[in-house]
Chains A and B, each alone.
Chain A
Amino acid sequence: MMGGSHVEPSHRARTPWWLWLYPSDFRREFAHDLVLLADELVQDRGMRGRRVLAIDLLVAVPRIRWEYTMRSSPLPGQLIAALTVLAVATWLATVAFGLSSTGTIIAAVVTAILLALALAQRSVLGRAFAAPDQAPKPTTRRVLLQSWWAPLAVVHALATLTFGVALGLGGGDDVLGSVIGFAVAVVFGAGILAGLVVRLSRPGLGAAMIVIGTVPLGGAFWMWWPPVLMLLVWIGVMSSAISRARHQAHTVS
């Protein structure tokens, strides 16, 4: 047997943070081995071991997550995962190439429509995976993991509404523009808030409303925070939808 110093992970005060990056099924199966190997790697190789661990997280986690999503999710979940990757990649590329160009807005709208279509599809197909009435009550941790982004969505909605009101009050010479701006902002801002409520009974539709509702303010690239806020809400909505689809598939099977 090849040597490595013996480290007992159960002596650890708590689970290392990086373990939570792995999919829950993978974590359940390999948590002990992953922690043991990581501890030995760092203990025996020092800084080089830490570097290997960091690179490993960057390379292995996305791949394993992708494989587990593709294997364990029903078709809608797979579509959502694929489109999420596409949307985030498109978004990041667009932001990198031109913050205030028209292309940015177009790309944002296109990705939002793609996501909305994926979510709508999940909403329709997702009925086949509806959890039975006797499904166990979700744990607090699960609820937090699924809805951490909801406060951000509320902030985004309020900011959009405030922006709309400011446009309406600001007036100026372009009355028609102000009225349209006001109407768009109010409809989309209210759409986010409505989406949060609708999501409780129609998850797919509610998620689509939230995603689309964030687009107008999220396209305001002359300020740093709206796009960031929008991206966070999108990631939250997507991860929550994937998590729910997988949970329902598990419950049914």
Chain B
Amino acid sequence: MTGRKPAELLPLPAAWLHVLVALSGGELHGYAIMSEVERLTDGVVTMGPGTLYGTLKRLHSQGLVEESEGPAEAESEGPARRYYRLTGFGERVLAAETARLSNLIHAASRGAVPSEGTS
């Protein structure tokens, strides 16, 4: 993935952004990603299994996420799970998308304030 610029992937589809933001706090397994996305969106977005793993597959193929070993204690807790984390490129893409959205929101906020003489 060397040589690729984050801007090439922007703007990110909503599902990609949700998963990347969820993984920005560290490695997570599928259920934890789904729960984190649900929490981040105040319960508005609940990703089903196909959507979640389809998205993870796409993110993986683009080099934005990778599988990880998971925490050491995970092996003794319940069923085997696949953990995912952001790659360096994924972090840069997320940062670029966050900056893009911030600029957009900033611009929208300025536009929402009535200019002098309009009211």
Contacts and interface: CB of A to CB of B under 8 A. Distances in A.
B45 to A, nearest CB: 10
Interface residues of A, number: 35
B67 to A, nearest CB: 11
Best-surrounded residue of A6, A32, A60, A67 (most CB of chain B within 10 A): A60
B5 interface: no
B114 interface: no
Interface stretch (B70-78, B88-96, B100-108): B70-78
Given A6-B78, A26-B57, A1 B50 contact: no
B51 A4 contact: no
Interface residues of B, number: 26
Given A2-B28, A6-B79, A33 B50 contact: no
B51 A40 contact: no
B79 A7 contact: yes
A181 interface: no
A34 B49 contact: yes
Contact of A6 (B28, B51, B77): B77
Interface string A62-101: 0110010000000000000000000000000000000000
Contact of A8 (B47, B51, B78): B78
22 contacts: A1-B74, A4-B31, A4-B32, A4-B35, A6-B79, A9-B79, A10-B79, A33-B53, A33-B81, A34-B49, A34-B53, A36-B30, A37-B31, A37-B49, A37-B53, A41-B31, A41-B34, A48-B46, A55-B48, A56-B50, A57-B50, A67-B54
Interface of A: 1-4, 6-10, 22, 26, 29-30, 32-38, 40-41, 45, 48, 52-53, 55-57, 59-61, 63-64, 67
